[in-house]
Chain A
Amino acid sequence: MDQATPPAGNGSMIKVSVWRSTGPGGVAAGEGRFEAFDVPRQPSQTVLDVVTHIQRHLDPTLTYRFACRVGVCGSCAMVVNGEARWTCRTHVDKVSQDGTLEISPLRNLPVIRDLATDMSEFFDKWARARGQFTGTRTRKDDFAVVSPLSAERQQVDLGIECIGCGVCYSSCDVVEWKPDYLGPAAMNRAWTLVNDTRDQAQRERLAAVAGDAGCHACHTHMTCTERCPKHLPLTSAIAGLKRVTTRALLKGEL
């Protein structure tokens, strides 16, 4: 597919289809159609560069979200040629098919307008998965000592780098089929806290993730793990929750 991508520079262009909202706003903002733009190819051009070019030079009404441009903030994720990605860290060369790009908002989230989604539900689910740390110490106590070599701490290390971009949530078929499903990112957060030896809300957390919308609804498609831009083992985190909730159930703790 890459051979057909026009080379950068030399005045060559790339054909871009961008999702545009046609509804007035609110839920209706999800209604829309693809609009075609021709964008000049540049060396090392990212998909975010393409979107920015469209807004600055072709149509200033295009709505999208970004901040850091370097894969730190997690705000520029969109669906590019069918796959959710960070647009800032995706080169056009890597994803264009026959010299075309199709860019749409993240799936499974309400669209605010064009390419910007409302991520409230995504983050509310982190809270619903009991994603808050509950400690017991105060500032007067000494530091808690957690060995970096302990099995629990190493599990935490695997999942803690999540920046909440929503790529996994957008890619997950179970979220699409079952809208109240907590989703991979929220449960990855819960798993890092299940392994936090200082946390005192473990029973509530296990109850929060063991329900109908929780870890046992996961079909192990592993699309979250395939798509995570940080390569976090999300399915592993959900499988971990399945294990600990099953164990807790057998012990009568759930």
Chain B
Amino acid sequence: MSRAWRNRNHPAWWAFIVHRVSGLVLAAFIPLHFWALGQALAGEAALEGFIAWTANPLVKVAEFGLVIALAAHLAGGMRLLMLEFLPWRDWQKSLFAVSVAASIGAGLLFALNMG
């Protein structure tokens, strides 16, 4: 690791990066989501055509990533709210670990129900 990044190599900084990247991914997804819903306005066939396209395995993989991003952003956000609005405890690293575990758990649950 370069010396410039050594300063940032600790759990809370990783938590920040996970939160920021997942937030950007979700922000990029939202217009796509609304566009897909908007297909319903163009008639049943247009929406059905789009839904059929989402059965593509690559789209499923992307959905898995999206669920992970959503779970990570939610868990990370809860972590931040707890950290900033509850009395301080020396448990912040464990809180990050719990957030990671919850995100991966949500992703795996989604993956199990996929198909």
User: Would you call A81 and B12 a contact (CB within 8 A)?
Assistant: no
Instruction: Check: B84 CB closer than 8 A to any chain A CB.
Output: yes
**Contact between chains at A220 and B3 (CB < 8 Å):** no
Interface residues as binary, A213-247 with B (CB distance below 8 Å gives 1, 0 otherwise): 00000011111011100000101100110110010
| Other A-B pairs beyond A221-B8, A221-B13, A222-B13, 15, CB < 8 Å | A83-B7, A171-B7, A173-B8, A221-B12, A222-B10, A222-B12, A222-B92, A223-B13, A226-B10, A226-B12, A235-B92, A239-B83, A239-B84, A239-B88, A243-B84
Across the interface, which residues of B come within 8 angstroms of A235, CB to CB?
12, 83, 92
Q: Which residues of B contact A236 (CB under 8 A)?
A: 88
Q: A81-B3, A82-B3, A239-B83 are in contact. Are A223 and B10 (CB under 8 A)?
A: yes
B residues within 8 Å of A by Cβ?
A: 2-8, 10, 12-13, 16, 80, 83-85, 88, 90, 92
| Distance between Cα atoms of A225 and B10 in the complex (Å) | 11
Residues of A contacting B12 in the complex (Cβ-Cβ under 8 angstroms): 220-223, 225-226, 235
Any chain B CB within 8 A of the CB of A49? no
With A220-B12, A222-B92 known as contacts, the answer to whether A243 contacts B7 (CB < 8 A) is no
Residues of B within 8 A of A240 (CB): 88
A240-B3 Cα distance, complex, nearest whole Å: 32
- Minimum CB–CB distance from A227 to chain B (whole Å) comes to 8
Q: How far is the CA of A226 from the CA of B14 in the complex (A)?
A: 13
Min C-beta distance of B16 to chain A, whole Å: 5
Question: Which chain A residues lie closer than 8 Å to B8 at the CB level?
Answer: 173, 221, 223
Contact B7 A242 (CB under 8 A): no
Cβ-based interface call for A84 (8 A): yes
The verdict on A102 contacting chain B, using a C-beta distance below 8 Å, is: yes
Sampled A-B contacts (27; CB under 8 Å): A81-B3, A81-B6, A82-B4, A82-B5, A83-B7, A84-B7, A220-B16, A220-B83, A220-B84, A221-B8, A221-B12, A222-B12, A223-B10, A223-B13, A225-B12, A226-B10, A227-B7, A233-B90, A235-B12, A235-B92, A239-B83, A239-B84, A239-B88, A242-B85, A243-B84, A243-B85, A246-B85
